[in-house]
Structures are given as C-alpha cells and as structure tokens.
Amino acid sequence: MLQSDALKILKAGRNVYLTGAAGAGKTYVINQYIEYLKDHKINPSITASTGIAATHIGGMTIHSWSGIGIKDDLTDWDIDGMEQKQYLVKRITNASVLIIDEVSMLSPNMLDMVDQVCKALRRSQEPFGGLQIVLSGDFFQLPPIMRGVASGEEEFANASRAWREADIRTCYITEQYRQQSDPIKDILNDVRDGKVTQKSLKLLKSRVGAELDADIEPIRLYTHNTNVDERNQEELSKLEGSIEAYEMTGKGNKRIIETLKKGLLAPEQLQLKKGAKVMFVKNNFEAGYVNGTLGEVTDFEFGRPVVNTINGDEIVVHAEEWMVEDGGKSLASVSQLPLRLAWAITVHKSQGMSLDAAEVDLSRAFAPGQGYVALSRLRTLDGLVLLKELNPTALQMHPRVVEFDKWLHKDSYKWERVIARFNDDELQKMYDAHILDCGGSIESLADKRAKTNSNGGTIDEDKPKSNFIEKAREKYPNAYKPWTERDLDSLTEMFNAGKSIKELSKEFGRGAGGIKSRLVVLGLIDEE
C-alpha cells in the first residue's frame, strides 16, 4: 500500500494498524495525519510504547497517558481511583484520536488495559470508548519483555481482546526510504520472508571485520547487557584521569523504587571520566537534550559533568527525577544523572534509531528478531561492521510473526482495493464526517489562510499564489516543498541538538515559519 492510500483510510476515521518494513515511512504517515488533524482543529493524543519511541514521535508513553503506569492489571478499585483524577478524566474524555506508536513492544495485556480505561472513563462500551485508534509498528521488531510469561505463549499486542474487537484495517506500507537502493534492503526483505538467500549471506559475511572510514566513530550493538557493560567499562578504563561516581537515590515506597530502578535506562551506579562517551536517557528540551542524545564528557564543573553533544552543544548535566504519582501525590521517586555510558548499547535499546554506522555482535543472538532489528538500524550496508560470524539464531524470525505478516499483506491489499472504489467526492464526505465526529472544523486553517490575506481581503486562488511561491523560493529554494522522512529525521535531530530556527532555516532552505510549523507537527514545540 502507498502512503497516500493509508492516509485516505486514516482520514476516513477508520481504526488502523500502520505497518511496513523499517524505513517504509510509518512515522511520516503518522506525522502527515497529525498535521491534517491539527489543521482541522483536532489535537490527537500522541503516545508510544516506550520512552525512546515517544521521543521520536513527540508524544508521551501510553502508560503515562492512560494513567496505568507500572500496573500489571486493573481492579475495580484502580478504575474507581482513576475516575477521581480530574486531569485524567479530562484528558481521556476530550480525546478523539489515540495514536500508539511501536505497538509491537506493547503486551496484549497492556492494550487490553488501555481499552478498559478508555471504556470506563468515556462511559462507552465501544472499543477504546469510541476513540479512533491508530496503531503503528512492525512485529518483526523485538516483542515486549513480559514478566511471568512462558516462552511460546501469546506475547504480541495483536493477541489482545481489544485488537480483535476494534475492527482494525491493516495499512502495510511498501515504500522504502531508509535503505533506498541499498543492498541491505534486499537482505532485510529476505529476513522478513524467512528465507535468507546465499547472496544475502555472502554480503553479510563480507562485513565481518570490515573497516569503516577513519572519521566515522560507530556505536557498538550487543544482544546481552553483560557485553554492553564490559565494553563500556573497558573503554572507560582506557581514559586517563580520576573517576567521578554518581549513586542513584530514592525516596518513598521501597517496592515502587525497585520497580523504577529496573525500568530506567539510567544506571544505579554511574562512573564517568573526561572523554567518556555518553547517552542522555531522559527528555529535557529546555536543557537541550532528549532520550538518545549522544555526547562526550569534556569536563566536570562543581562535581557535575559537562557534556558536548555530537552537534557541538555544551551541557552542564544536573540530576533528574523519575517519579510515580497517584492523584498528584508522589508514591516514590528516584534521582540520578540522566546519562549512561554509550560506547555500546543493547540491540533492544537501539529500536527506533537510525544509524550511519554500527559495529554489531550477533554471535550470541538468543531471540528471533534480534538480527533484523540490529541490521535495520543501518542506512547502508557500508555502515555495518559485524564483529563476529552470525550464529544460527541471528537471522531467524518468530514463526507466528512470519505467518501473521502474510495475513497482514492480504488484509492490507483488501483495504487498498476498497479505498480505490471511492471517488474524491465520496472520500471527502467521509473525511468531513470524521472531522465533525471529532469536534473539528471542516474548513481547515490552510483554507482560511488561502482565502484571506493579512488585510482581510480575498486572495486570488491561482496566479498570485503561484507568484508568491516562486518569490518565496528565490530566497528559500525548498519553500512549500513536501518534507521527506529523512528531512524530518534530520530536522528532529538538529533541533534536539540545539540548532536555532535561523540555523535550521539556512540548513533546509525553508523560511522560519515553515520550520516552526514543522516543529509543531513533530511535537517538538508548542503552537504559538
């Protein structure tokens, strides 16, 4: 299915599962839909299954949005408590569209609990309380880590009752942007099909011990935390100078503190030196970093590390707090510097990243999908270095996922044919009905701007508008041109690294207003 067809189904108000191979443009489609909704005065609820994924899409975790937090199940007592939280009731009852990104990392139980909360707080027994539900992800990614679930049991979100009841249309995007026209694309398609060819194996074998350009410093991906810790400590020990140590502190309910500690990327004991490679593990837009920002410790100022990010920004890092609240009251919290050593990370934590270069060790791969996740992080095959030979598990996929993927292709093709039956007028009627159901305005903000100039007069719809665009492009060559997914990734990365609007305008050849509007769509700044 093309991105444009998926967008038509979304605009028609249908519940959708948006999927496709890594780099197919799922996030781009979601951002297009978010922009469309906001243009019609509808603010969708933007969430994701993990903090890193939420950062990428400019939203919050579904655990936080729904008020479920770290709970493994919901009792009537829990639901009653949620109904007493006015901020939560207002958030969920005022919502009309719920987006959940990286749904492959969401357990079926969690999706059922979100459905349960939405039904209870919206006083409706329709699926998700009548919300339009937009799920995005790829089940070829690693499944969620679930406590108390034996191997082989149902572990993916599509096994949930909520998924079955929501009448979800599959939109399987077949376009490809991250690995466009690169050999790694064919390798990944082989892995998804469950039949890796000799040609693909030969190409991968050629990357064992390969050398990268001298000016490229790759991050290293391992399947096991022990390898990550060993690598990071080994590199830290090579640095001269004394160690600065930082201990995580906690207050409140001891059980919740322990649960918090286990769920955080920040380590309980953090050791740093000048020259240490680090990654930020929390969002703090005002301070100039987000979850995943990479940098290097260059100094210590009154005991606090000074980090230069990869884009040259200097940040004095202060401790951050992670908290679990109930009714506005803190039950427990922990405090630590929002950093971890980053010469190496696990494959699991790399999900959602796009990397120009990586050294990957899949010799100890132990779960289906690990090899696919690691390889799909790379933009090109030339950016891959395999540290050791692949083990037999590395390129295996979960058998249920391979079978389910075949069904998803068929389901997507069915809805692709259905949407093709409608002409533009019929589609527009569905679009308008959905906008009204969501409490939005049929006349978009763009339509209003096209009709009225700054003096309140009417603007001619044709030539003057064309002349206006031509004139704008004399100064900004890319003004009013569509954004590509790679452009959006670069814009997000540069903005998070602290680039100013003026700098971004020059970099992308677009006016400051165009840059600001795109940052609003991405959820990186608030609409003025």
SS3 letters across 304-352: EEEEEECCCCEEECCCEEEEEEECCEEEEEEEECCEEECCEEECHHHCC
CATH class of the 3-178+400-420 domain in this structure: alpha beta
Q: Inter-axis angle of helices 512-521 and 485-496, to 10 degrees? A: 90
Instruction: Give pLDDT, residue 381.
Output: 87
Sign of the CA dihedral with 108 first, then 114, 117, and 121 last: negative
| Torsion of Cα atoms, 206 then 210 then 216 then 219, to 10° | 90
Is residue 456 helix, strand or coil?
coil
Could you tell me the two tokens for 295? 């940098």
Instruction: Give pLDDT, residue 215.
Output: 65
Could you tell me the two tokens for 402? 């391979």
Residue type, 295: G
Sign of the CA dihedral with 367 first, then 373, 374, and 375 last: positive
Q: What is the DSSP string of 227-254?
A: HHHHHHHHHHHHS-S--EEEE-EEEE-H
Q: What is the DSSP letter of 221?
A: E
Q: Which residues of 234-262 are buried (b: 16+ CB within 10 A; e: fewer)?
A: ebbeeeeeeebebebebebeeebbeebbe
Is residue 63 helix, strand or coil?
helix
User: Alpha-carbon Rg of the chain, whole angstroms?
Assistant: 24
Distances (CA, A) of 183 to 362, 363, 375, 377, 469: 19, 22, 12, 14, 38
Residue 78 near residue 23 (C-beta atoms within 8 A): no
Could you tell me the two tokens for 277? 């490679």
CA 392/CA 387 separation, integer angstroms: 15
CA 372/CA 191 separation, integer angstroms: 7
Instruction: Give pLDDT, residue 126.
Output: 93
Residues forming a β-bridge with 99:
46, 134
Q: Residue 21, Cβ neighbours under 10 Å: how many?
A: 23
Full strand arrangement of the beta sheet holding 97-101: 60-61, 45-48, 97-101, 132-136, 16-20, 169-173
Q: What is the DSSP letter of 298?
A: E
Give the number of residues written for the chain.
Answer: 528
Could you tell me the two tokens for 399? 């058998």
Domain boundaries, the chain: 3-178+400-420, 183-386, 444-521
Distances (CA, A) of 366 to 192, 222, 392, 397: 17, 11, 9, 11
Could you tell me the two tokens for 149? 């679930």
CA 54/CA 77 separation, integer angstroms: 29
Instruction: Give pLDDT, residue 151.
Output: 44
Locus of tokens 């009417």:
458
pLDDT tens series, the chain, 528 aa: 889 999 999 999 999 999 987 667 788 888 899 999 988 989 898 888 876 666 566 677 888 888 888 788 888 898 988 888 888 889 899 999 999 988 888 889 999 999 999 999 999 999 999 999 999 988 887 666 554 444 444 478 888 999 999 999 999 988 655 445 678 888 888 888 778 888 988 998 999 888 877 666 788 898 888 888 899 999 999 999 999 999 999 988 888 788 778 767 788 999 999 999 998 887 776 787 776 677 899 999 888 999 998 767 889 999 988 877 654 567 788 899 999 898 888 887 776 666 778 889 888 888 777 888 888 888 788 888 998 888 888 888 777 888 888 899 999 999 999 999 999 999 999 999 999 999 888 876 666 655 555 445 544 443 443 455 666 777 888 876 767 766 777 888 888 888 888 889 888 988 887 888 777 766 677 644
Locus of tokens 């200097």:
314
Residue 277 near residue 343 (C-beta atoms within 8 A): yes
